[in-house]
Structure 1
Amino acid sequence: MSFDAVIDVKDVTKSFGGLTAVNKCSLRVERGSITGLIGPNGAGKSTLFNMVAGNIVPDSGSIYFDGEDVTGVPPYKLFARGLLRTFQIAHEFSHMTALENLMVVPGDQPGERLANIWFRPDFVRKAEHHVRQKALDVIDFLKLGHVKNELAGNLSGGQKKLLELGRTMMVDAKVVLLDEVAAGVNRTLLQDLAANIERMNEELGYTFFVIEHDMDLIGRLCDPVIVMAQGEVIAQGPMEEIRANPEIIEAYFGSPVEAA
């Protein structure tokens, strides 16, 4: 399969006071890929992720999304363009059901305008039915039918992560940024989560950019894997090559001898 870059980061730098968190970093996320981003604590992964997501503005360099310069574009505008992010801690609406959590995702729904409710009630009902049916389809895809009417706050950590994936499906995202998707998820549900990421990639064409500390999950899902250390990209390739790279072992463990 031939790819083209849907995210292209060029010479991006970000400092906080006297600390340079990301230093002239460049990387590409190819369309249709599941690209992993790994590195030791303090490598600059989260800062880079936050710049791509629009939460932090870089000091210099450029970020391109789908061929357009989006450097400094805020998250809500990136959302509208199809760049979505999930979080290490799921951000569900705890007092709404799982189904309702999905239904509120699409923006600019007719029912949000009071005039439509008064003067175009049939139009509002039809649009709401369409959104509800899409949410039910997403629930079925993720095999969450047994909890669709459960309050989201009562779901397990893994179910909440699946629900976050479902929210990205409600707006047909082009790229999903996954931040520590394995955090707080038991091993059984983690397998379900991984399987659904693979299905969304293979069957629906989603592109994923993943920060993760679980190397087994990265090894299962991601190709390529990008490695950061001290704010810079130091390697990129399949996980088998990454695991065998002495420079990466040194970055994680201090020296190849100690790592052995």
Structure 2
Amino acid sequence: MGSIIEVQGVSKSFGALNVINDCSIAVEEGSITGLIGPNGAGKSTLFNLIAGTFPVSSGTIRFDGEDITNIPSNELFSKGLLRTFQIAQEFTHMTALENLMMVPPDQPGENLFNTWFRPKLVRSHEADVRQRALEVIDFIGLSHVKNELAGNLSGGQKKLLELGRTMMVNAKVVLLDEIAAGVNRTLLQDLVANIQRLNQEMGYTFLVIEHDMDMIAELCDPIIVLAQGSVMVEGTIEEIQNNPQVIEAYFGSDPNESGAANGTD
């Protein structure tokens, strides 16, 4: 289907520290692409560059054919490029349902003029947003906690809620940053199933940073391995697991002493 994200020769330095070095990757539209690498490889920095959080030092980033280099994250959000975080960013004192309803931008009720002089428009739009939020919260399996304050949800439920928030806008690509962190195995399976459904039924493209190699193996194809800020290798999970360079980067010269078989990091 072609690449929806293209990172071309991108570098990023923080003072004298070079974190990303002439890095080039392509994410195919409709794929669930994994991005892995040892600690300090530059994975989260690369995410921040793609998401517009950090400016690049050199190189270009294209999204859906458009040069988005150094475009801020709020503009990328409106274009359909979204990022989730290692720590879910919920509104703790609002219900799970209200959290979803807050996502769509430019709602009529945000305009004081509309609130005063066009109340029917505001109520109609809010009813539409609420209906969409109810559909989303049912999709992600959180209907039973829709009226619970988001701050009271478990870590896994918060991750599901954050995934649901991507469904409240017209997302094209979602960047998932260690979404499995702090999630129990039961809810992790719910997360995996929802990501697969969004990919297969709604055409979402995902780029996934994750240390849980079982999750990467179940979800991702292809997988890109980053080391020292550059791409080391790209391939299927079988190719990655059996690549001597990857084993060396993760575990040193003797993988048998380092848990290479189970993919610990």
Q: Compute the displacement of 1:256 (Å).
A: 5.0
TM-score for the superposition, normalised by structure 2: 0.96
Question: Which amino acid in structure 1 is aligned with residue 129 of structure 2?
Answer: V
Q: Compute the displacement of 1:17 (Å).
A: 2.0
Counterpart of 1:228 in structure 2 is 226
Deviations 1:64-108 (A, max 9, x none): 011011010000000010000100000000000000000010000
Q: Could you tell me which of 11, 14, 39 is aligned with 2:12?
A: 14
Q: In 1, Cα distance between the equivalents of 2:111 and 2:56?
A: 37
Counterpart of 1:237 in structure 2 is 235
Counterpart of 1:175 in structure 2 is 173
Q: In 2, Cα distance between the equivalents of 1:132 and 1:217?
A: 32
Q: Could you tell me which of 76, 101, 108 is aligned with 1:110?
A: 108
Is residue 50 of structure 2 the alignment partner of residue 49 of structure 1?
A: no
Q: Could you tell me which of 201, 204, 210 is aligned with 1:203?
A: 201
Q: Note the 1:69-108 alignment, pairs <5 A.
A: 69-108=67-106
Q: Aligned pair in 2 of structure 1 residues 184, 208: CA closer, same or farther (>3 Å)? A: same
Question: Which amino acid in structure 2 is aligned with residue 76 of structure 1?
Answer: N
Deviations 1:36-70 (A, max 9, x none): 00000011111111100101111100000110110
Q: Could you tell me which of 122, 132, 135 is aligned with 2:133?
A: 135
* Number of residue pairs matched by the alignment: 258
Is residue 21 of structure 2 the alignment partner of residue 26 of structure 1?
A: no
Counting aligned pairs with the same residue, the percent is 70
Q: In 2, Cα distance between the equivalents of 1:115 and 1:57?
A: 37
Counterpart of 2:263 in structure 1 is none
Q: In 1, Cα distance between the equivalents of 2:184 and 2:224?
A: 26
Q: In 1, Cα distance between the equivalents of 2:160 and 2:217?
A: 20
Counterpart of 1:68 in structure 2 is 66
SS at 1:143 equivalent: coil
Q: In 2, Cα distance between the equivalents of 1:126 and 1:114?
A: 16
Give structure 2 stretches of 5+ with no counterpart. Answer: 261-265
Q: In 1, Cα distance between the equivalents of 2:172 and 2:216?
A: 20
Q: In 2, Cα distance between the equivalents of 1:176 and 1:256?
A: 36
Question: Which amino acid in structure 1 is aligned with residue 196 of structure 2?
Answer: E
Q: In 2, Cα distance between the equivalents of 1:75 and 1:35?
A: 21
Counterpart of 1:120 in structure 2 is 118
Counterpart of 2:249 in structure 1 is 251
Question: Which amino acid in structure 1 is aligned with residue 58 of structure 2?
Answer: S
TM-score for the superposition, normalised by structure 1: 0.97
Q: Compute the displacement of 1:231 (Å).
A: 0.9
Q: Could you tell me which of 206, 219, 227 is aligned with 2:217?
A: 219
Supply the RMSD in Å over aligned alpha carbons: 1.0
Give structure 1 stretches of 5+ with no counterpart. Answer: none
Q: In 2, Cα distance between the equivalents of 1:162 and 1:176?
A: 14
Q: Check the 8 A contact 1:38/1:225 in 2, yes or no.
A: yes
Question: Which amino acid in structure 2 is aligned with residue 213 of structure 1?
Answer: H
Q: In 1, Cα distance between the equivalents of 2:170 and 2:185?
A: 28
Q: In 2, Cα distance between the equivalents of 1:16 and 1:74?
A: 18
